[in-house]
Structure 1
Amino acid sequence: MISAGVRAFLVAMLIALPALMLPGVSADTTQMIALLALLAAMLTFVEYVSVFPSFVEFRDAPPFNRMRFLTLFLTIVTLTLVSRGQGEPNGLSALLTAVGGQLGLLLDFPFSPVRLMLLTLPADAPETLQQSLRTHAGLAYVISVLSTMLVWGLVHAMQWPLRNGAFNFWVNLPLFDPTAGGDVLYRLKRDSHVNVALGFLLPFLIPAVLKAASAMMDPISFDDPQTMIWTMTAWAFLPASMIMRGVALMRIAELIEEKRRRAYAQAELLVA
């Protein structure tokens, strides 16, 4: 129960962090974010305090979810510090802004995800807003890429998930029904490939969707720091999370395939 409470508290703090750190947040916005943080904390607590899983995957296969949370936390904190530094600059925010600006310029080339995100701005957007969006996008994208590479390395270097004991398929993949039909190994590999492919495509597709939506409704206003932070976080983290899930599913498929090979080899020895 203590572990579930700690997780719930961390999730609530993560959601409330931009509103707590940014200056000039209105009372209505603070109340809405507090409600969302409380709701997320309750869902997290119920999920981890319960013996039976509901929808959170890999809950008993650390450090997979911890790495995903750390990626999300690092992205939000970094972008919040950059946004806060625009009104209340300090040494750390200036450093992050400078690094993010250089990363944004490095990644701002034709047809890159950063360039496509910049194209979602109105044609008459001020230069300062373009620079701010480029900085946030560069930092968020690099954090997501590095985190994805780190997860891939940990999955293979740490012999995940066997290092923590037997892998409980039902607890760690509650939304995956192995009896739904078809070979489990084929379905795991298929889902892995789909997740990785979508993870690579989403940084390109999300700006296109935002641009298309702006033609039918009011476009997203990146003038608001919280809108900037959460939009950039979602744009970078969701694809990274899908790639991480694809890597994890492929690892599970590899373990099942290896176990099958051993079983077939033992059966052949018994027959011989």
Structure 2
Amino acid sequence: MIERFAGAVVRAFLVALLLATPSVFLPGTLDDSTALVLILATVIAILTFLEYNSEFPSVVEFRYAPPFNRLRFGAVLLLVLILSVIARGKADPTELSQGLTALGRLLGNTIDFPYSPVRLVVLMMPINAPKELIADVRIAAGLSYFISLVMMFVFLIHVRFLGWPARNGAFNVWVNLPMFDPTVGDALSRLYRDARINIALGFVLPFLIPALVKLASTLIDPITLAHPQTLIWTMTAWALLPASMIMRGIAIGRVADMIEEKRRRAYAEAEQDLQAI
């Protein structure tokens, strides 16, 4: 119980730290948005604490199947931290901010090829957008997409070569998929269907979102990305939410494979028992 309480406190603190990172790093934002950030961070921290202090999960999936959630949170925290340092470097340049900016520029230019997600993000900007803003968007998009690819690659290694999630012991579907009702219909076919839907949406959304923003430019003004916090959170959501959906699809597909394999063994054993009789 003490261990669970301590873990919930640490997770709540890390979530609050994540939400407050841009406001802490960026100059001139503490006076304007301190109250809003403090309220939002407090609410999310409380919800996180209540979730992880409970013995049984209510919303969070794969709580007992690390490093699924740790990879996703670590990628978001790393990306927000990097983009915040780069944004702060415009007013207070340091060697670290300049180095990260150069890395982001390299990644952005490398991934910015025709029909790539980064190219579509750049093209969604209005024609009259300043060149400096377009460069900032390309840097943020390149870093975001690269980190999302690394996150998915690391998770694939855990699934394919490190035996996730079976290496952590017996996998409890009810505990790790609290929102999934195995009593409705064929659970196996529903799991495979959910896996395919998540993977398909995760692959399409980085291409689809910029196109939708471009079509809805009369309602959504992409020039608002000139604000550093808007750019940070928009690029983080654009890249990591679809990547998280792909990871979820892979994870659910892996769970479905494990259930199918267990069913096959059970049927084979039952058939052998009948033959023995």
Q: TM-score range by the shorter chain?
A: over 0.9
Q: CA distance change for structure 1 residues 41 and 220 in 2, over 3 Å: closer, same or farther?
A: farther
Match of 1:118 in 2: 122
Runs ≥4 residues deviating over 3 A: 217-220
* Cα drift, residue 21 of structure 1: 0.8
| Match among 203, 212, 222 for residue 209 of structure 1 | 212
TM-score (ref. length: structure 1): 0.96
Q: Is the 8 A contact 1:47 1:54 kept in 2?
A: yes
Q: Deviations over 1:230-272 (max 9, x none)?
A: 0000001101100110110011011111111111111121122
Q: Is the 8 A contact 2:213 2:220 kept in 1?
A: no
Are positions 1:170 and 2:174 aligned together?
Answer: yes
Note the residue ranges of structure 2 that are not aligned, 5 or more in a row. Answer: none
Are positions 1:36 and 2:33 aligned together?
Answer: no
| Match among 232, 235, 248 for residue 229 of structure 1 | 232
Map residues 68-87 of structure 1 onto 2, 5 A cutoff.
68-87=72-91
Are positions 1:268 and 2:256 aligned together?
Answer: no
TM-score (ref. length: structure 2): 0.94
* Cα drift, residue 206 of structure 1: 1.2
Q: Deviations over 1:169-207 (max 9, x none)?
A: 1121111111122x2111111111111111110101111
Q: After the TM superposition, which of the residue ranges 128-137 and 85-94 deviates more from structure 2?
A: 85-94
* Cα drift, residue 26 of structure 1: 4.6
Note the residue ranges of structure 1 that are not aligned, 5 or more in a row. Answer: none
Q: Is the 8 A contact 1:185 1:257 kept in 2?
A: yes
Give the residue type in structure 2 aligned to 1:185.
L
In structure 2, distance between residues paired with 1:5 and 1:214: 42
In structure 1, distance between residues paired with 2:30 and 2:45: 22
Alignment: residue pair count? 271
Percent identical among aligned pairs is 56
Give the residue type in structure 1 aligned to 2:271.
E
In structure 2, distance between residues paired with 1:26 and 1:153: 40
In structure 2, distance between residues paired with 1:202 and 1:257: 30
Map residues 12-27 of structure 1 onto 2, 5 A cutoff.
12-27=16-31
